[in-house]
Amino acid sequence: MAEVKDWRPFVYGGLASITAEFGTFPIDTTKTRLQIQGQKIDQTFSQLRYRGMTDAFVKISKEEGLRALYSGIWPAVLRQATYGTIKFGTYYTLKKLANERGLLTDEDGSERVWSNILCAAGAGAISSAIANPTDVLKVRMQVHGKGTDHLGLIGCFREIHKYEGVRGLWRGVGPTAQRAVVIASVELPVYDFCKLQLMSAFGDHVANHFISSFIASLGSAVASTPIDVIRTRLMNQRHVTVLNGGVATAAASASASAQRLYSGSLDCAVQTIRNEGLLALYKGFIPTWVRMGPWNIIFFITYEQLKKY
């Protein structure tokens, strides 16, 4: 029975992640749309269509229908099924290895904060890198909304593989892993600190978990949004050609030389700041924070309830 129980965190982590994803996905779609707009070097997304999260939510619903807010939900669910499971499994494996080498706990038996941060950061980086293809599919489907309805998950996968190869599925893997490391490194210690400070007022109850998660989400949103903007833009990037100073798809001209908008994370950051200003790296910050809070609440409450069975 003990051996079976060792697998429960894997299953619970995946189920809780999927539940949280369904509950907050429309907010994530508005975040993605805000992050890719205003790119002056890409005419497709050069206009500022949305003034903010609420405006994006209303316009997407009105112009494309409510289903468009859930475009990309299935690759997102697939991502959580793999990412959530791998992250939990890797996290506990790393903690076990650290404990065997005497690195996890100090002299009085309490777990070291830095050890937990390193384990969480390592688990986040590894799992996010492995699940990167599902993230690319999610971003592409979110950006194009109802335009991907005829493709679906499998069709979108085939299109990326056909025109961009296997490397296209790992586009943006660098900032994806960096973002996972930053979120894990900031969110976990801030959450634990806030939870401990609020214990006398709220106890170990849902109110404490809610407030602590929301404050932790603010810290991770501030730290991770610039990386998230870069990641989203790299993932949405396709093979393009430059025609008379403008950008068009690669199929538009066989004679034009293929050229990427961004050569990598650093180039994307530099061009974004140069063309749109420093604050462009914080596009989608509000929906990022608003989503992280409820996502964590749904995740931890679901996880704690599943642990009872």
Q: What angle do CA 127, 177, 120 make, to 5 degrees?
A: 60
Averaged pLDDT, 277-297: 88
For residue 252, CA distances in Å to 12, 70, 135, 164 come to 47, 30, 27, 15
> What is residue 256's predicted lDDT score, i.e. its pLDDT?
38
**Residues 189-223: tens digit of each pLDDT:** 787 788 888 999 998 887 887 888 788 888 888 99
Q: Exposed/middle/buried for 285, CB within 10 Å: 0-12, 13-18, 19+?
A: buried
**Residues 219-240: tens digit of each pLDDT:** 888 999 999 999 889 988 875 4
- Selecting from 1.50.40.10, 1.20.1600.10, 3.40.190.10, 3.60.15.10, what CATH number does the domain 7-308 have? 1.50.40.10
Residue 16: pLDDT above 80? yes
> What is residue 260's predicted lDDT score, i.e. its pLDDT?
65
Q: Taking a C-beta distance cutoff of 8 angstroms, is the pair 225, 282 a contact?
A: yes
Give 271's pLDDT tier (boundaries 50, 70, 90): very high
Mean pLDDT of the chain: 81
